[in-house]
Amino acid sequence: MNLILSNSSPVPLYEQLEQQLKTAIHSGELQPGQPLPSIRSLAASLATSIITVKRAYDDLEKEGYLFTTPGKGTFVSVDGVAALTESHLLQLKGELAELLRSFEDAGVTRSEVCRLIRDQEV
């Protein structure tokens, strides 16, 4: 897992870390039940404070993406993967709705949009 924090970003370091961990969970790079690095080792490898990593881990645990077992470590939660997938789907639906409105504003019908999608190579 390649995590990069930027001190020049206006986004706080702990939020950068949270977002990157969520992305790694969503992409499957981090699997349910997989252990995460200890707070100390991750802070050292990112050259940041222990408090930054602890805040990110705590926030992700509150959101259900991670769970901690005392004496064993922090792990990716099965429920967190499902929650992240659901929230990502909701985000994509919102983006699709905006895109469809843009097509409608440009006078493109939904059937034409469907044809464009079918013809699109991925």
Task: Tell me the residue range of the domain where 65 lies.
Answer: 13-78
Domain membership flag for residue 2: no
Number of domains in the chain: 2
**Mean pLDDT (the chain, rounded):** 90
Are both 113 and 56 inside the same structural domain?
A: no
Are both 70 and 95 inside the same structural domain?
A: no
Query: Which of the four pLDDT bands, split at 50, 70 and 90, describes residue 42?
Result: very high
Q: Residues 5-41: pLDDT tens digits?
A: 999 999 999 999 999 999 998 888 999 999 999 999 9
pLDDT number for residue 47 = 96
Question: Among candidates 30, 9, 29, which has minimal Cα distance to 74?
Answer: 30
Are both 70 and 88 inside the same structural domain?
A: no
- CA–CA separation, 7 and 98 (whole Å): 33
Query: Which of the four pLDDT bands, split at 50, 70 and 90, describes residue 117?
Result: confident
| Domain CATH number, residue 22 | 1.10.10.10
- On the question of pLDDT at 84 being above 70, the answer is no
